[in-house]
């Protein structure tokens, strides 16, 4: 493959890290193009990514199910309008089986480091068990939200009961009749709280910032509809397109227009008033920041659960823990058997979860120390032949992440084809191209609700949004439609003087 590579036989053309939606989607598309020289390294023993791992009660998607599948693999059999975790996990297992991905996947392969060698134009992949592999191109399909964020709470190590993060749920622990504290009121919390509230003896809900919650209108999909979708697939496609257009046209407008944001807030407060009669509780649940600045949450059963007698909404913050109890910052002591941390994830793309060394030994985590940045969320200057799926500034604020993943897959296929056509070169995005792209991205955030001044994981410490795409998703699709080789440097393998 490369003129200076002595161990060419062991070098695979493409290594994909991760067998979730991104890695599997790319693998299927590569196969369909007749490319066989690729491997997927997956740290777990099954496919599925976050949909394999997040098994807390109530875990589900807040994007309509018909939008939450590959465009080339519709699922007429979704059981609900919003897919629960196990259904989405089953869907991914079905895709893996149907497209025979297992022959390309190495399971239980946890990548611990990546290093590029400019003399051979090859990436060395280190695994945590000491194994090594080599690939010409690496695609990091490692997901954006998968490293749990554990809060630092004084005394947590002394607590004698159970402590569980929503993303690391212990299915063998029973909550029936237990006294439980839930910390956090984000997307995970509003799903787990209604699922466990009827079972537990008491539920102390520690809310730091009240979220905006809107009704989800979730419900079962009738068998007759499934039958129609199986018989006339275009009907499902129509529904999918209608849902896409709704999310795409209505929601962004609310993010950009302050009048519409106010209207959304009015609707949110109206919904809260309809469900929560007690004005004191309602005041505690009313958000104090502009709608959309943090993720708007969808739920039909969160507020109805919070008003139940066995739920105690604590708004004073967590002070500390002792062996048997959790203390509010106001000094109240609540004896509990279990603490559920619904405290979210390490800020995505704030760095790679492993050392990544590019040209001249540069370190991606150092380069991204003050905020991550890539070209179109995929290529990073100084790290040739390396691509991200769902990298910086490609998170959707309003529509399905699968739409973005498929846009990136189309681009990456062109990138990899170009690479295959230039076997003695490696390619690197020009720094000035990456810089201009990111200046434009940041300019587009100005005046949106995302920069209206809330404390959100979307933002870096200095207020830069490195997570979301600041525009319509169709604009992202258009901008990733064509791979433009003029934007890249093509470097001769062995020409280390770069
Ligand atoms: O996490 P979060 P999440 N003391 O960071 C609070 C995706 N997702 O797991 O708001 C007390 O949103 C924190 O308080 P505050 C989705 O993209 C998708 O819920 O920072 N509280 C907040 O209330 C989502 O956006 C689905 O003041 C503390 C909560 O914990 C992302 O994952 C389902 C605290 C964390 O909320 C993250 O959601 C679930 C502390 N020390 C998740 N630290 C779908 O449906 C944190 N908090 C697809």
pTM for the model stands at: 0.94
Atom 29 (ligand 1) nearest CA: 184
**Whether the complex's predicted ipTM surpasses the cut of 0.90:** yes
Torsion angles phi and psi, residue 113, rounded to 5? -165, 155
* Ligand 1 touching residue 296 (CB < 6 A): no
Average pLDDT over residues 185-190: 97
Q: Does the pLDDT of residue 256 top 80, yes or no?
A: no
Which of 28-37, 252-261, 379-388, 483-492 has the lowest average pLDDT? 252-261
* C-alpha distances in Å from residue 248, one per residue of 163, 254, 396: 39, 11, 10
Alpha-carbon Rg of the chain, whole angstroms?
A: 24
* Ligand 1 touching residue 194 (CB < 6 A): no
Mutation to probe ligand 1, out of 188, 285, 301, 314 (largest number of atoms < 8 A from CB): 188
Question: Looking at residue 255, what is its pLDDT?
Answer: 65
Could you give the CA distance from residue 213 to residue 271 in angstroms, rounded to a whole number? 8
Atom 10 (ligand 1) nearest CA: 209
Question: Looking at residue 471, what is its pLDDT?
Answer: 87
Question: Looking at residue 4, what is its pLDDT?
Answer: 39
8 band by pLDDT with thresholds 50, 70 and 90 = very low
pLDDT tens digits for range 286-307: 999 999 889 999 999 999 999 9
Question: Looking at residue 2, what is its pLDDT?
Answer: 36
* Ligand 1 touching residue 314 (CB < 6 A): no
Question: Looking at residue 348, what is its pLDDT?
Answer: 59
Q: Does the pLDDT of residue 492 top 70, yes or no?
A: yes
Could you give the CA distance from residue 140 to residue 408 in angstroms, rounded to a whole number? 12
445 CA to middle of ligand 1, Å? 22
* Ligand 1 touching residue 320 (CB < 6 A): no
Q: Does the pLDDT of residue 170 top 50, yes or no?
A: yes
345 CA to middle of ligand 1, Å? 7
* Of 250 and 242, more confident: 242
Question: Looking at residue 253, what is its pLDDT?
Answer: 64
* Ligand 1 touching residue 188 (CB < 6 A): yes
405 CA to middle of ligand 1, Å? 22
* Ligand 1 touching residue 342 (CB < 6 A): yes
* Ligand 1 touching residue 206 (CB < 6 A): yes
Which of 6-15, 196-205, 271-280 has the lowest average pLDDT? 6-15
Other CB atoms within 10 Å distance of the CB of residue 232: 12
pLDDT tens digits for range 65-93: 999 999 999 999 999 999 999 999 999 99
Percent of the chain with pLDDT over 90: 83
Q: Does the pLDDT of residue 3 top 50, yes or no?
A: no
* Of 98 and 255, more confident: 98
361 CA to middle of ligand 1, Å? 35
Q: Does the pLDDT of residue 181 top 60, yes or no?
A: yes
305 CA to middle of ligand 1, Å? 18
Mutation to probe ligand 1, out of 68, 344, 350, 467 (largest number of atoms < 8 A from CB): 344
Atom 7 (ligand 1) nearest CA: 187
Q: Does the pLDDT of residue 239 top 50, yes or no?
A: yes
pLDDT tens digits for range 368-427: 988 899 999 999 999 999 999 999 999 987 789 999 999 999 999 999 999 999 999 999
Which of 47-56, 165-174, 286-295, 301-310 has the lowest average pLDDT? 286-295
Q: Does the pLDDT of residue 41 top 50, yes or no?
A: yes
- Measure the N-to-C terminal CA separation of the chain; round to a whole number of Å: 21
Atom 8 (ligand 1) nearest CA: 187
Q: Does the pLDDT of residue 312 top 60, yes or no?
A: yes
Strand order from edge to edge, sheet including 202-206: 162-165, 338-341, 179-183, 202-206, 311-314
Atom 48 (ligand 1) nearest CA: 61
Question: Looking at residue 251, what is its pLDDT?
Answer: 65
Q: Which of 141, 182, 186 is nearest to 23 (CA)?
A: 141
pLDDT tens digits for range 417-459: 999 999 999 999 999 999 999 999 999 998 888 887 888 888 8
408 CA to middle of ligand 1, Å? 26
């Amino acid at each position: 493959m490369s003129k200076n590579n002595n161990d060419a036989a062991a070098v695979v053309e493409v290594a994909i890290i991760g067998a979730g939606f991104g890695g599997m989607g790319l693998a299927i598309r590569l196969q369909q193009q007749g490319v066989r020289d690729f491997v997927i390294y997956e740290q777990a023993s099954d496919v599925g990514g976050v949909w394999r791992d997040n098994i807390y009660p109530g875990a589900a998607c807040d994007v309509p199910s018909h939008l939450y599948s590959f465009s080339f693999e519709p699922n007429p059999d979704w059981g609900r309008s919003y897919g629960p975790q196990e259904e989405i996990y089953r869907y991914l297992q079905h895709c893996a089986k149907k497209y025979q991905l297992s022959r390309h996947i190495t399971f239980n392969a946890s990548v611990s480091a990546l290093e590029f060698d400019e003399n051979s134009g090859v990436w060395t992949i280190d695994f945590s068990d000491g194994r090594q592999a080599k690939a010409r191109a690496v695609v990091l399909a490692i997901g954006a939200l998968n490293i749990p964020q554990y809060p630092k709470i004084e005394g947590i190590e002394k607590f004698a009961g159970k402590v569980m993060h929503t993303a690391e749920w212990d299915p063998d622990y029973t909550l029936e009749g237990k006294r439980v504290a839930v910390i956090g009121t984000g997307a995970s919390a509003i799903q787990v709280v209604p699922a466990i509230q009827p079972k537990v003896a008491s539920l102390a809900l520690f809310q730091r910032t009240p979220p905006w919650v809107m009704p989800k209108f979730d419900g079962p999909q009738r068998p007759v509809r499934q039958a129609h979708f199986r018989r006339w697939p275009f009907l499902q496609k129509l529904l999918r397109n209608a849902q896409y257009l709704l999310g795409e046209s209505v929601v962004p407008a609310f993010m950009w227009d302050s009048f519409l944001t106010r209207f959304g807030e009015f609707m949110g407060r109206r919904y809260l008033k309809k469900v929560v009669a007690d004005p004191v509780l309602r005041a505690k649940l009313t958000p104090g920041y502009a709608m959309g600045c943090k993720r708007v949450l969808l739920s039909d059963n969160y507020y109805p659960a919070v008003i139940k007698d066995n739920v105690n909404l604590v708004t004073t913050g967590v002070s500390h823990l002792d062996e048997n109890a959790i203390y509010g910052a106001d000094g109240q002591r609540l004896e509990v058997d279990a603490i559920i941390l619904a405290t979210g994830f390490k800020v995505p793309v704030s760095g790679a979860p492993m050392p990544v060394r590019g040209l001249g030994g540069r370190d991606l985590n150092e380069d991204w120390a003050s905020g991550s940045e890539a070209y179109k969320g995929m290529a990073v200057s100084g790290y040739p032949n390396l691509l991200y799926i769902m990298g910086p500034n490609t998170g959707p604020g309003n529509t399905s992440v699968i739409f973005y993943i498929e846009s990136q897959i189309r681009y990456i296929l062109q990138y990899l084809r170009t690479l295959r056509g230039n076997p003695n070169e490696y390619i690197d995005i020009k720094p000035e191209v990456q810089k201009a792209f990111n200046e434009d991205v940041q300019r587009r955030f100005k005046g949106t609700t995302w920069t209206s001044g809330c404390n959100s994981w979307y933002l870096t410490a200095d207020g830069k949004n490195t997570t979301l795409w600041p525009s319509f998703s169709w604009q992202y699709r258009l901008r990733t439609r064509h791979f433009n080789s003029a934007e890249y440097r093509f470097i001769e393998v062995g020409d280390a003087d770069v």
